[in-house]
Amino acid sequence: MQSLKSRIGIQNTATKEIYTFETNATVSLFYKICTIVFFGCGNNFMFDDLKLPRKVVEICRIVSKVLGLLVVMLVCSTSTAFFTQHNLDMMHKAKLWLYGPPLVTLNVLYFNTVLRKNQIKKLSYTIAVVLRGMFNDEELEKEMVRKTWRFSFAFAFLVIGLFSSTGIVTGYVAGTTNETFTIMIPAWPDLNDHSHAASIARIAHYCIWLMLLIRVGCLYFVILAVTIGLQFQFSIMCNYFHSLNIIFAGEDSHEEKENNYEEAFKFGITMHYLTLWCIDQTQVTFGVAFSSQFITNLVTLISLMVQFMYMDRTFGNCLTVFLYAGAVLTSTGIFMWNAGDVTFEATKLHTAMFNSGWHNCRGRASVRVRKMLTIAIRQAQDRVTIKGFGILELSYESYISMVKLAYSVFSVLSQK
């Protein structure tokens, strides 16, 4: 690991690791996202210090700890509700499953990601600084930045829309009927408790739920930035290998051109090695996040279908279920589609290597280059995937399979 650190420009001190870099569009993107994440959860995932006033940093960290404690209390409340809430009808049992297990998995996701904060810093540094410093395509980099912000804003809009619409519809139902303002089933109060203390507790649960959505949602910004960054890294490498043909168009002697091509191809292999290292680190660092996302959405979809089957199909109830299902399906798709794009873009690399101009080499240089090219292409042909649970490949196909699995499980349960 020490050799890799020195290669990518990380220096150890007695207190922390120091990253040396020059600013580029990708670094600016990570900095802005990590600043948003810091305000959302009080943790700095940037490989550099955030340029924020010290007082602001201290306040954010204190507030984050307090909110973190409240979120843990919320998770405990929704989990113990399985043992304290009795005599629930099928619709409310579905709501119990809709929030209980998913809140646990999301909280596990949060703590696992925070524990791997230093690994995330090394990973993002390698993508934003080392790989971009080796070779970059400014047009592709601009498209990467635009796509990252597009998906980040879309995800934020879905989360805020889900929170707001759920509160508005539930509040309207509670105001026009005899039902209580119950978003999730907590350990206390009881569903039929109309006291002021119970009403305050339900509103508190609702507000703390927003805190959890913000904390976890901010971490997904980092995951999006990394996966989209890796997707475009493979596109940039394809452009790099295609550009090697230019070497043989110069005015140097053919022998010098062959030497330059050989060195440039070796440089590309090093770039590919570091990219594959990033893929492995993404799997290690965010594997729990991808697995948690799958479990959360599977349980959520099944619970929503059960709830829809047993509830009174009023406009407000249907709107809540459809909005929740739409937000879940879309947010899951955002991550699984981008992870699938990494696999798709990686399949183009071996073709770019083959079209890099190796056929211009002659004699001994041709022999050396062909051997090197064969090994490099064989390595590039290995399927590059990001997986959940270490076995489930995240892609367009697995996204459809997840939806079908949820419906299949619901069909089996509904027959009992």
Domain ranges (residues) in the chain = 2-415
pLDDT tens, residue by residue, 60-74: 999 999 999 999 999
Residues 401, 398: Cα–Cα separation, whole Å: 5
What band does 1 get if pLDDT is binned at 50, 70 and 90?
Answer: very low
Here the tokens at position 387 are 């997986």
pLDDT at residue 282 in the model:
94
222-236, 342-356, 380-394: lowest mean pLDDT where?
380-394
pLDDT in tens, 45-100: 999 989 999 999 999 999 999 999 999 999 999 999 999 988 888 888 888 999 99
